[in-house]
Amino acid sequence: MMLTMMQQNNLAYLMGTFSSMMGWMALVFVFIMGIVLWNSGLMNGIRRYGEFGVRLAIGEQKRQVYLGLLTEAFIVGIVGSCIGLVLGLGISLYFNKNGMDVSAYNRNTSILSENMVYTSITLKALIISFIPGVLSTLLGAALAGSAIYKRQTSQLFKELEA
């Protein structure tokens, strides 16, 4: 009886589990990067409290200042993700053309596999590698920018003097 690969040895279940785990890992990665960038955003925000105070003192609403901060983070996320995408694409193109010799790792295994591994570049992979950079930057700025709403305008302006 001939079976497809997915019908053998519960492989369909394993591949489904692997796929959902990859999704969860991407979500956790974005969350962790958001926390890291939150810290970075807080440090940047502390330096900019005086600027925020001046902007609020001349009549800008807290919402406008916060949206400006998110817009900056979005642009930085787009630029950073584009740079990372270009660098990653360059490395992937190298391994797509030349391949990577993994024969040293296959010596003591019973798995039948190729000794040369080549990358494949797909639109899905490009999108999946682009989105976390933008989302984590936005998440970090959103968490850091929430301090604008917690502080009074006078406190932000007073920190300009220090």
**Is a pLDDT exceeding 90 seen at residue 71?**
yes
Per-residue pLDDT at 87: 95
**Is a pLDDT exceeding 80 seen at residue 74?**
yes
Per-residue pLDDT at 156: 61
Give SS3 for 1. Answer: coil
What CA–CA distance (Å, rounded) separates 112 from 131?
35
CA of 92: how far to CAs of 46, 111, 115, 120, in Å?
A: 39, 25, 18, 8
At what angle are helices 62-98 and 123-150 packed, to 10 degrees? 160
**Domain residue extents for the chain:** 17-94+115-161
Residue with tokens 């969350």: 31
Task: Say if strands 100-101 and 116-117 run parallel, antiparallel, or are unpaired.
Answer: antiparallel
Per-residue pLDDT at 91: 93
**Is a pLDDT exceeding 80 seen at residue 20?**
yes
Using CB atoms within 10 Å of the CB of residue 41, give its burial: 0 to 12 exposed, 13 to 18 middle, 19+ buried: buried
What CA–CA distance (Å, rounded) separates 91 from 87?
6
pLDDT digits (tens, 9 = 90+) for 38-67: 777 777 766 777 777 778 778 888 889 889
Contact 44, 73 (CB under 8 A): no
pLDDT digits (tens, 9 = 90+) for 77-127: 999 999 999 999 999 999 999 988 888 877 777 667 788 889 888 898 888
- Nearest CA-CA partner of 89 in 120, 133, 117: 120
> In sequence order, what are the residues at sequence separation of 6 or more whose Cβ sits closer than 8 angstroms to the Cβ of residue 92?
119, 121
What is the number of residues in the chain? 162
Per-residue pLDDT at 161: 60
